[in-house]
Structure 1
């Protein structure tokens, strides 16, 4: 399903292929940055990581 969604993303957002590629790049980069930030918090500030989502 994810593969089909990525392959047909320009149809899903009803935009050009360039816009679809830009949006996919933003989503992917946000995921990667969040992953590494969570890893950083786990190593340096585990109490902050434990509180995320508990409010």
Structure 2
């Protein structure tokens, strides 16, 4: 019998936090994406992002 990931379901109903309404987020983050051409780094909110080392 092949594994069908679309049929996965949780064992217990666990409600998610917050309210399902527009503007009612628990935390609102404003992410400003950028790219430094001199360093060739992606940045979010002026903090550079580098890939983690792979094993």
Structure index of larger Rg: 2
Q: TM-score range by the shorter chain?
A: under 0.3
TM-score (normalised: structure 2): 0.23
TM-score (normalised: structure 1): 0.23
More helix, by proportion: 1
